[in-house]
Structure 1
Amino acid sequence: MREVRTLLEAAEVVARLREKDESALRYVMDRYGDNLLRTAYLLVKDRQAAEEAVQDTFLQAFRKIAQLNHPDQLHAWLVRIVVNRCRMQQRTWSWRHIFPTLGEKRLLLESDEPGPEEMFFDQWQSGSVSHAIHQLAYNYREVITLYYYHEMPIAEISGQLALNLNTVKARLARGRAQLKDILNREQEARP
């Protein structure tokens, strides 16, 4: 029953977005904003760049909502857009090449009471796993984030990123191996 309600809700929101209803856009931003921000932050390693990618995602989604053929895939479509925006940011030159950030900035989310997901993410963010993920090359960070954070199956990641299934599997395996090495080195370095 809940799944049917969610499908009807998604269809209604997409219909309102196609009519250029700004309240529907605000609803989508409230519903998916934190999730997309976390994803972008894990990929680009910078809060400002992540916020910019998410803003661009919502603007592009609002302008090109007619391209979404299946309203029930709104979330996956938004994730694809934010991943593409992050890829574009990784390719372009920016000021961070001149002024690299000093230390890692902690991603802060604005909410009164954190739910279980936020509590887990805060622990994860402040821990060494997030730091280790940020040390990976972008192509490994991308598949690791989609697989573990968004819990996407390998086939869906393959479709989202327009990669061969075996390429996604190889990147996951190499990313996991590199994460393990990074975490082991960090643990050995601790007193």
Structure 2
Amino acid sequence: MDLVERLKRKEEAAVIEMMNKYGDSLLRTAILLVKDPHLAEEIVQDTFVMAYQKIYQLHDEQKLKSWLLMITTNGCRARMRKWSWKNIFLHQEQEQEDHLIDEHELLPEETLIATWRDQQLREAITLLPYHYREVITLYYFQELTVKEIALLIKENENTVKTRLARARALLKVELTKGGVGIAK
């Protein structure tokens, strides 16, 4: 039986499975969007509560991930409108547990450089205005297509493409001015 059907029957094991399957991905997305790990955790918790309450609205299990992403991004947008976010930054000491690079295969120097570059990239992303941060996060970290992002944020595909291009340009400027050398 598929996960959505089990969720509709309010099975506790199905809720746990959904949280285990999508929790980390949603949390990474929320952290990049709101720049505050604690608030991001709240948003993801709210996402799971809302999904549990409104699961009857979802009919296709294939759309569960995008539906959860939509709830999360909408929660981030709502929080961004409510609060003044100018003084909140992503804390450097709270590193992501899962890195794209397997640190065991690298030399210590390479690991240090990779970690430093990841940190520089995260910091540069947090400096972007929200609407650029949103499309960069969804495109690169959630690996959604331009069309999927457009549907998710309810914008035209060309608007998404423009935002991606502008966000990349801003990131390139930010990363090269510090001598990071990541942007190409």
Q: 1:102 to 1:64 in 2, by over 3 A?
A: closer
Change (3 A) 1:72 1:158: same
Backbone CA RMSD of aligned residues: 2.4
Give SS of 2:143's match.
coil
**2:36/2:88 contact within 8 Å kept:** no
Structure 2 match to 1:6: none
Q: Structure 1's 157 and 100: CA in aligned 2 closer, same or farther, altered over 3 A?
A: closer
Normalised by the length of structure 1, the TM-score is: 0.80
Correspondent of 1:76 among 66, 83, 89: 66
**CA shift for structure 1 position 174:** 0.7
Sequence identity percentage = 44
Alignment-derived partner of residue 106 in structure 1: 94
Give 1:126 shift. Answer: 4.4
Counterpart position of 1:62: 52
| Preserved CA contact (<8 Å) 1:57 1:85 | yes
Match of 2:178 among 155, 167, 186: 186
Give, in angstroms, the shift of residue 124 of structure 1.
7.7
Separation of aligned partners in 2, 1:42 and 1:163: 20
Q: CA offset at residue 76 of structure 1?
A: 1.0
In structure 2, the partner of 1:7 is none
Aligned residues, how many? 170
1:54, 1:102 → 2: CA distance?
17
Amino acid at match of 1:69: H
Work out whether 1:166 is the aligned partner of 2:158.
Answer: yes
Q: What is the TM-score of this pair, normalised by structure 2?
A: 0.83
- TM-aligned CA distance change 1:153 to 1:180, over 3 Å: same
AA of the residue aligned to 2:59: N
- Per-residue CA deviations over 1:139-170 (Å, capped at 9, x if unaligned) read 00000111111111111110111101111111
Distance of aligned partners of 1:135 and 1:107 in 2 relative to their CA distance in 1, 3 Å threshold: same
Asked if residue 28 in structure 1 is aligned to residue 4 in structure 2, the reply is: no
Deviations 1:90-133 (A, max 9, x none): 11126x66x74595452444xxxx5x64758x948842111100
